[in-house]
Structures are given as structure tokens and as C-alpha cells.
Amino acid sequence: MATIFRDYAQSEGLRSDRSAGDRQRHRDKVRRAIRDNIADLVAEEAIIGQSREKTIKVPIRGIKEYRFIFGDNQGGVGQGDGDTAEGQVVGKAGDGQGKPGQGPAGDQAGRDVYETEITLDELIQIMFEDLELPDMERRKLREVISERTHRRKGYRKSGIRVHMSKRRTAIARVRRRMATGTPPVSDPDLDAAEDAEDELPEDEMAEDEMTGNDGAAVAGTRFRFRKDDLRYHRIRPQVEPESNAVVICIMDTSGSMDTMKKYLARSFFFMLYQFVRTKYDTVEIVFVAHDAVAREVNEHDFFHRGESGGTLISSGYEKALEIIRERYHPSLWNIYSFHCSDGDNFPSDNDRTVAAANELCEVSNLFGYGEIKPNAWRFRDATMLDVFRRVTAPNFHMLSIERKEDVWPAFRAFLTKEKRPEEAPAEAAAGA
Amino acid sequence: MGMSWTMRDLEEWDARIRDKVAEYELDCYDQEFEICDRDQMIGFMAYHGMPSHYPHWSFGKSYERQRTLNDLGVAGLPYEMVINSSPSIAYLMRDNSLCLQILTMAHVYGHNDFFKNNFYFARGTRAELILGQVKMHADRVRSYVEDPSIGLEAVEKVLDAAHALSFNIGRNPAVPRLSPAEQRARALDRATGTPDPYAAIHARKRPDEAATNADLERLPLDPDPDLLLFIRDHGAYLADWQRDLIGIVDEEARYFLPQMETKIMNEGWASFWHRAIMNTLGLPPDIHMEFLVRHNQVVRRIPGDVNPYCLGLAIWDRLVAEEEGAWDPRRGLPAAPAAATRQKLFQIRESERDASFLRRFLDEELMRDQDLFAYEPRGNDLVVAKVSNESGWREVRDRLIRQTGTNAMPMIRVLDGDYGRSRGLLLEHVHDGRDLQLGYAEKTLDHVYTLWGREVHLKTTVNRETVILSRGTDGFRTRVVRDE
């Protein structure tokens, strides 16, 4: 029998990197599993306005390693401190851990510490990681000129002295000399050029020397700058995109909007809010609830209050317009408006609603209408989708959500459509 | 914190430990110790200690999990990691103290001796070949991943499925897998009644196969507990590379099977010998004090759980006590056992596994001393149902055996490889009073379906009713089988 010792080797550390590929693969699977379950995640809590540090529990499916195992509640054998008695409680049943106490974590069908919690920030990253910036951003981004910042952009031949480009001026002079090939004996613009030369600082003269211009040595006189040589920076005021945005959530809270519909709406608003927030520094969020009348409410009331009575969608839009007029002037704010409803409006209100919708489109970067129709409502005649065909603004979008599984695809489709408005139907036809 | 030891220290202490190993007649493979850091150790744990192993995302999961637990302070790292190979390889954590290194080395020699001599390792594994085999497996898996006509996704799909079934294998290496010819002979014998032991004298011809009523068309002739091998050998829709992957997973599972089946014995054995070695090694007082603290951490009871180090050591101690006259293990640390005692211990370490070890040597007194109890769910609580007293200890012991090694996993076997005469696969859960977790069973059947390529069915018992779970092209069904 022999013993061999192998000392620690830093280079051997590379060997532990063999796990890097497998770890990455596992992380990819976790992310995919989360993405597949996003609709579930946003349902649980009021997370629309939450801090990004907040952790939420994620029910991950798909990366468990399944085997044939016994059921959870089988009981087992344990060790006590010395006088365990029958009937004594030693742990909690049914939490999937299967074992009482704090023994080493087994490979049971239990929770995996790192799989269950994720910060909101990570969740959002995962949600949006494969979405491209839609064109709606570029097109609708409000360009607000800020007087404070300026930017050099190109050159011109006239300007004020502080904007003069010494380098460009010198280059122009060298070019001119190369073109003429001879030192000028007399020059009608001599005096003016002399003036200009006098203004050039020492380093400019040095640069002149370094370019190989030895005109002084050859002709006993310098190859002088002329007015024509002078170049000035073209100064343009800097256009900074205004980084404020507001998401206006308008929801039908009439009696027909049941828990399921509100849940679907919440899911959608959450995604919209998070999406906008990835683009702007500050995002404000406004909740407008309406039935026959509209009011501004907080998040809790928005999702939890149900009113009875009829529905006047125009009231919600008009309330939104009022809020925009008062607090979010379109020249300063990027406005994203979205309305969720089950499409059950008083027919007499439709004209007014379309007019208000057109107005909202004018002031908003984007105005979206989501019709939430869980299966039970499929056969109802009342629908706003038909009515809204009359809204022709390019930044208006409609979509229909029937089940919670639809929310995320609908949201994605809505962004994709935004990107290629003409191709979408053709593509669908080709796919069919 | 600088290291408190040098390689030279380790070599010197190793030489002294080996003198003790020789003195106590432990019989070991050559031993290699490799110094590693924390990340390397986590990596070795994720890949079962193998220096080279095929890639799969589950090892990445295992790595992340271990590191997270370690970061959170929920789980410490093991002091040691030993591989059942010849030479045996063990990893020592660079940041451990000198005392921990000496303790670990002594402990490793205990495992090394166990690997080399225990029947289930000696018969069930090829210690001198394993590293090369695992390396070859890795190379083959990588070649399939890199093959443009196969690729990672396809390889992963087969590995995922094979991993799900990897421990549904024959559990006792002493019971060999019968060849098709042997199965056929047995089926014939069964059909013709008790075989005539004096056939030669009576000179009667063996009955013509065709004349018997034995159904020799059945596949398998005997229920087959080796799911992966059965699927590999009889799956009609598998490509060669898929068969190869299945074989690789099966081979590695077989290698690890003895470790699962001897966890309590083996950890108890290594703890028993590290204690004997450390106590007779002439350690400086400070190191010895540290050793006592560490040793007690390792072999302490974990309330509510069964610590194999603790229980295993207690049983070995008791065997020594029986041989050498009663001494109280709590009163003082025993010196090393006498030569005759050692011979008895060696016999036991050679021929038992946890299930038989516990059944033979865990008696009422020892169980009461260890305060072993059985618990059951009642409402939202887990409640102690039986303690190790005169009336309860046998049941507690039997339940302990049921949660030990492969007994903790349901026994599933192949009944029919041509179920419904449509190449369906019929599996049977051999029910022992414990129902399956049906959610997991369903997902696992998905994996079986992936490999088998046709309908798969699992016969089991749910709430005392016979149920067949089926996974076919149209998804998953469950039906209750009424008594015939």
C-alpha cells in the first residue's frame, strides 16, 4: 500500500470550471421555467409598484428531477435527545420536507432553497430579456430640447472664435499649400491672414512645423493662414429624450368584472408597468377605475373593489384625459395608457368612447385596449373590439385575453406587432 | 488566515496513521490525497467525486445548490470526499486545520478498507477500472453532444429520462441478473413442476419445449427490476447512441449502489477507526482537544433525523463491547479493539449491508439508548407514533430498515414488454404499504415513455385500490382496476 499526496495547484482550479457549462445550462432552464410561469407569478401579490429588491416566490416547474418516490406523508424514523415519548410532536407534516428537525437537506421532493425566491428585478430581466426594443420607442419618444447641453456636430466656415477648430484650420491650410505648390509672394488677403495667424496659439504653429511645412526656410517668409482656411465647429443644441413616463391604467370595475378578470388585468398592467420602467428613469403610475363614473384610485382599490351598475367607458377615458391635462403634459411626459374591460359598454356611449379614445391616442405614446373575456363570456355579443375598429390611430392597439395563459403571449404579441405592423397578418396566413 | 500545516506535516502524519492502519490489520487500496479549495470541493461533490464526468445540467444544479447552502451557512462542507477506486482518491480541503487533515486521513483509511473488503463493493464494483470507465463515458457523451446529427438537446432528453430510472435496478449484487437462456430454463422448470434431481438415472428426456404450457413468448419471462437494462435491450425505437447513453447511466448507478446500501455501516466503520487511530496516535494536546470537539460534532445525534455516523458507530461499539466484555461507551473512549475482536468485526464488515446489519445487531437496548422513534403525520404535525420500548422497538427498527438505502425507494419492475400485444410496456410497483407520490410517478412515466416510444403503464396501489397509470400518445390516464 502506498500513499500519494497531490498539493493544491492553482491551475487545477480550472478543473472545477468543468461545472461552468452545466451550471449555465441549469440556469438557462431555471430562467425558461420562470418565463413559462410568469402569468402565475404576477397574480399573487400587489407587486406593481414594489421595490425591485422585493423577493417573490417562484413556482418553478420543469427542472425537478423526477423519479419514482414514495408519497409525502409516510412518516419515518428519527433520533431524539434521550426521552422521546409517544404522542410528542416532532415536526410539521406536509411541507414536502418529509423530515422533522433540521437535519441535512436530503434529495427529497422538497424545496430547493435557490429555486423558490427571486427578486423582482431578476424576474423583470427574465421577462424582457428576449424582447427587442419595439419601434414604438423610437417613433414615439418625445424629444424635448434641453438648453443646457450642446454638442459639436460637423464644421463650417463661419462662426465665432471660441468655436474655431484649430486642427481643421491647420489641415485646410496644409491642403491649400499642397494645392498651390509654391509659397505665395504677395497676397491680397495677407493682412487678414496675418490677423488670423496671430490669433493661433503656439501649439498650432508647432503642428504646422510638424506637418513638414518649412516654407519659412525656403522663402524666408511663412506660408500664412488665410481667412478661407478657418474652420469652426458647428454647434447643435443637444436633444435629450425626456425620461419621464406615466402609465395610466384604466379599468372597468363594474360588477361584471369578476376576480378572474381583474387578475388578468393586473397581470397585464404589471407587465406594461415593468416594461415601461425598463426604459425610463422615473415612471409614475395612475389608476383610474370606472363603472358609470370614473375616479382615480390607489392600486389596492383598483384591483380589489367591485362596483355594481352600468358601464360608461368614456367616463374612464375622460378622467384619464383630465389627469393628463392637469399633471402629465404630453410635451414633458411619455404617456402609456391602457384600458382593460370585458367589453360590456352601454351602446349609447360608444360614439363618445371612440372620440375619447382618439383623443387619448393623440396625447399618448401608446394607447392599448385589452378585452378580457374568460371563456364564460365568449358567447356574449357585447364587445368593444368591433367598436374600436373605428379608431385608426397607428398607436392604438387592441388585444383579447381569454385565459391567464394568454396574458404573456398577448403582451409579447403586442410588442412584436408594434415592431412590424404590416407583416404580422401575412405571417399568420403563411403559418396557417 | 494562513495555513497551519505544510505538505510535509501531512506526509509525516500519514506515515504514522499508516503504521496504525497496518497494526490494526486494515486492508486498504493505495491512497491518493489531493488538496483542493472550496470551489473544487463543491465541484467534486456535484460530480460524485469523479475527476472526470459526463456533463449534465443536474450536476450544475447540484453545484449551485451546494454552494448556496454553504454560502447561507445551512450546510457545511464535508471534511472529506473519498472515491471507491483503486487507488482510492480522497480530497482534503486546503483551508482545514492540521487536526482536521489528520482526522480526515484517518477516516479515509476506514472507508478505503471498507471499499476494498465489503462484499457489495468488492462484488458490485470494479474499483481499479472505475475512473477510466467514467472518463470514457464522459468522452462518449461529449461526442454525442458534438455530433451535429444528435446535439445537446437530444442527449439531454435521454439522460434526463435515464436518470429518472437509474436506481430502479436489482438491489442485491449477490442475486445475479439472469441471462435470457437462464430465464428460459427457469420458466420451463416452473411449467414442468419440480425438476427431477435424478434425471440422469431415470433417463427421461427433458420435455419438449413445444409440449409445455410455459409461455416462452413472454418478455420478460421473470419480472425484471432492471428497468434501464430492459429498455436498452428491448426498446424497439432506440438508436445505438441512445442505447449507449442508457447503458452509461445504468453502469454508473450500479457503481454507486453499494454506497447507498452501506451508508450506516460504512460511516460508522470509518468513524470507529478514525477514533481508534487518533486516540493512539500520540497527538499533541491541543490537536487532541480539537479532535475531540470535531469528532463529537460528526457523530452527534441530529434531533428528528438519523445520523449514520452516530448510529453506525454505536453499533460497531456495541459489537466490540459484546466481544470484549461490557464497557460503557459513554464512560471513556475505548482504545483499539483486540486482535480476535477485530477478526469478528472484519467478517461483519465483509458480508453485511445496512438492512442486514441493522436487523442483526440493532437490539432493543441499543435502540433505547439511541432514542430511536417512529413518527407519523397526524393532521398538520409529525407525531411520535412508536418509541423503542419493549412493545415498540421491533416496529421502529423495521421502519428504519425500510427507509435505509434502496429500501427508501419504491421497487418497480417490468412485467410485460409487449403489453396489449402492441409493444406497450407494463411496469409494476411492488407495494409494501407505501403509496407512490403520484405527481412524481406521472412525470417519471413521461420519461419512461420517452425511452420506450410506445404506451407505458404502471400498476400500483393507491389507497388500497389497484390502479394503472398510463402514458400514451394522447397523454396521461389513470384507471382503477376492480378486483377480478
**Partners of residue A79 in chain B, C-beta under 8 Å:** 301-307, 310-311, 370-373
Q: How many residues does chain A have?
A: 432
Confidence label for A240 from pLDDT (cuts 50, 70 and 90): low
Q: How many CB atoms lie within 10 A of CB A405?
A: 12
pLDDT at A192: 47
Judged by CB atoms closer than 8 Å, whether chains meet at A93 and B434 is answered as: no
Query: How does pLDDT run across A337-353, given as a tens digit for each residue?
Result: 888 888 778 888 888 99
Sign of CA dihedral B194, B200, B203, B209: positive
Strand boundaries in A85-231, DSSP class E: 89-92, 117-119, 143-156
Average pLDDT over residues B304-328: 86
What pLDDT is recorded for position B424? Answer: 94
B37 has a chain A CB within 8 A of its CB: yes
A295, pLDDT greater than 80: yes
The residue assigned the cell 460637423 is A154
The angle formed by the CA atoms of residues A264, A266 and A268, to the nearest 5 degrees, is 75
Q: Hey, is the C-beta of B88 within 8 angstroms of any chain A C-beta?
A: no
Query: What confidence tier does A152 reach under pLDDT thresholds 50, 70, 90?
Result: confident
Average pLDDT over residues A397-424: 63
| Span B287-311, average pLDDT | 91
Smallest Cα distance from A245 to chain B, Å: 38
In terms of pLDDT, which residue wins out, B358 or B214? B358
**Interchain CB contacts (distance < 8 Å): A and B:** 265
Residues 6+ apart with CB under 8 A from B224: B230, B413, B414
How many residues belong to chain B? 484
- pLDDT > 60? residue B294: yes
Report pLDDT for A242: 54
Instruction: Verify whether the Cβ–Cβ distance A101 to B303 is below 8 Å.
Output: yes
Would you call B356 exposed, middle or buried from its count of C-beta atoms within 10 A (0-12, 13-18, 19+)?
middle
Note the pLDDT tens digit of each residue in A43-85: 555 555 566 666 766 655 557 889 999 986 678 899 988 888 8
CA contacts within 13 A on the Cβ side of B206:
10
Q: How far apart are CA A94 and CA A72, in angstroms?
A: 6
Residue scoring higher pLDDT (A74 or B275): B275
Helix (H, G, I), strand (E, B) or coil at A152: strand
CA distance B273 to A320: 79
Mean of pLDDT values over B450-474: 94
- Listed in order, strand segments (DSSP E) in A300-379 are 334-341, 366-372
CB of B106 within 8 Å of a chain A CB? The answer is no
Q: What letter represents residue A384's amino acid?
A: M
Mean pLDDT along residues B217-231 = 90
pLDDT at B211: 55
Q: What ipTM did this prediction achieve? A: 0.90
Q: Hey, what's the torsion of the CAs at A168, A173, A175, A181, to 10 degrees?
A: -170
Q: Residue B64: what pLDDT?
A: 82
> Which of A15, A64, A84 is closest, CB to CB, to B384?
A84
Asked whether the bond before B87 is cis by omega within 30 degrees of 0, the reply is yes
The alpha carbons of chain A give a radius of gyration, in whole angstroms, of: 34
Among candidates A13, A69, A79 on the partner chain, residue whose Cβ is nearest the Cβ of B303: A79
- Predicted confidence (pLDDT) at residue A184 exceeds the cutoff of 80: no
Looking at residue B172, its pLDDT comes to 75
**C-alpha cell of residue A220:** 524666408
Q: How confident is the model at residue A106 (pLDDT cuts 50, 70, 90)?
A: very low
Greater confidence, B270 or A150?
B270
Give tens-digit pLDDT for B153-181: 999 999 999 999 999 988 877 777 888 88
pTM of the model: 0.70
Of A18, A73, A82, the CB nearest to B377: A73
What nine digits make up the cell of A140?
A: 414615439
Interchain CB distance below 8 Å, A26 and B447: no
Q: Verify whether the Cβ–Cβ distance B43 to A92 is below 8 Å.
A: no
Identify the band that residue B191 occupies on the pLDDT scale cut at 50, 70 and 90.
confident
- B382 and chain A in contact, CB less than 8 A: yes
Which residue in the set B94, B311, B399 is minimally distant from A8, CB to CB? B94
Tens digits of per-residue pLDDT, A246-273?
889 898 887 777 777 777 777 778 777 7
Cβ contact B308:B358 at 8 Å: no
Query: Which residues of A fall within a CB distance of 8 Å from B437?
Result: 69-72, 109
| DSSP annotation of A164 | B
Residue A317 and residue A367 in contact, taking contact as beta carbons nearer than 8 Å: no
Instruction: Kindly state the cell numbers that stand for A7.
Output: 498539493
Flag the least confident range among A128-142, A152-166, B88-102.
A128-142
Q: Which residue has the cell 504646422?
A: A208
Residues A23, B60: C-beta atoms closer than 8 Å: yes
| pLDDT attached to residue A404 | 67
pLDDT for A427 = 36
Given B40, B301, B375, which is nearest A76 (Cβ)?
B375
C-alpha to C-alpha distance for B33 and B469, rounded to whole angstroms: 49
| Contact assignment for B37 to A109 by CB distance below 8 Å | no
- The reported pLDDT for the residue numbered B288 is 94
Q: Does B51 touch chain A (CB under 8 A)?
A: yes
Average of pLDDT values for B93-116? 94
- Binning pLDDT at 50, 70 and 90, where does residue A133 land? very low
Q: How many CB atoms lie within 10 A of CB A24?
A: 12
Q: What is the DSSP letter of A134?
A: P
pLDDT at B109: 97
Residue A140 predicted with pLDDT over 50 = no
The mean pLDDT value of chain B amounts to: 89
User: Nearest CA to B49 among B201, B259, B221, B247?
Assistant: B259
Say if the Cβ atoms of A1 and B94 lie within 8 Å.
no
Q: Which of B45-54, B348-357, B443-452 has the lowest mean pLDDT?
A: B45-54
Which residues 270-289 on chain A approach chain B with CB closer than 8 angstroms?
Answer: none
Band of the pLDDT at B136, cuts 50, 70, 90?
Answer: very high
pLDDT attached to residue B9:
95
What is the pLDDT confidence band of residue A112, given thresholds at 50, 70 and 90? very low
Is the predicted pLDDT of residue A214 greater than 70, yes or no?
no
pLDDT of residue A291: 83
3-state class percentages of chain B: helix first, strand second, coil last, to nearest 5: 50, 15, 35
Report the chain B residue with the minimal C-alpha distance to residue A87: B384
Residues 64-93, chain A: which have Cβ within 8 Å of B? 64-93
Q: Which residues of B touch A91 (CB under 8 A)?
A: 304, 375, 381-382
Strongest mean pLDDT among A95-99, A315-319, B25-29: B25-29
Cβ within 8 Å of B, A 103-162: 103-105, 109, 112-114
> Can you give the pLDDT at residue A380?
52
Q: Check CB contact under 8 Å for B371 and A8.
A: no
Q: What is the pLDDT, as a whole number, of residue A419?
A: 42
Q: Which residue has the higher pLDDT, A158 or A318?
A: A318
Residue A426 has pLDDT above 60, yes or no: no
Q: What average pLDDT does chain A have?
A: 70
pLDDT band at A297 (very low <50, low <70, confident <90, very high): confident
For chain B, positions 266-325, list CB contacts with chain A under 8 A: 301-307, 310-311
Instruction: For residue range B11-58, list pLDDT tens digits in order.
Output: 999 999 999 999 999 999 999 999 998 888 888 999 999 989 999 999
The lowest-confidence range among A248-257, A300-309, B209-218, B265-274 is B209-218
Is the Cβ pair A90, B435 closer than 8 Å? no
Q: Could you tell me which residue, B217 or A278, shows the higher pLDDT?
A: B217
Please tell me which of the candidates B307, B372, B412 has its beta carbon nearest to residue A68: B412
Angle A404-A410-A415 (CA atoms, 0-180°, nearest 5)? 145
Query: Mean pLDDT across the stretch A219-238?
Result: 75
More confident residue, B461 or A98: B461
| Comparison of pLDDT for A313 and A416, the residue scoring more | A313
Selected residue with higher pLDDT from A110 and B295:
B295
More confident residue, A424 or A366: A366
Could you tell me the pLDDT band of residue B219, with boundaries at 50, 70 and 90?
A: confident
Q: How many Å lie between the alpha carbon of B32 and the closest alpha carbon of chain A?
A: 5
| Window from A262-266, A305-309, B436-440 with minimum mean pLDDT | A305-309
Cβ within 8 Å, pair B164-A15:
no
- Cβ within 8 Å of B, A 334-363: none
Rounded to 5°, angle at Cα B102 from B101 and B107: 95
Q: What pLDDT shows up at residue A100?
A: 36
Lowest mean pLDDT among A273-282, B209-218, B309-318: B209-218
- Predicted pLDDT at B436: 94
- From the list B34, B75, B403, the residue facing A77 with the nearest CB is B403
pLDDT band at A41 (very low <50, low <70, confident <90, very high): low
Nearest to A79 among B34, B302, B376 (CB): B302
Report pLDDT for A114. 42
φ/ψ (deg, to 5) at A185: -85, -50
Q: A323-327, B23-27, B215-219: lowest mean pLDDT where?
A: B215-219
Give B 198-227 residues with CB within 8 A of chain A: none
Contact A69 B302 (CB under 8 A): no
A70 neighbourhood in chain B, CB within 8 Å: 408-410, 434-437
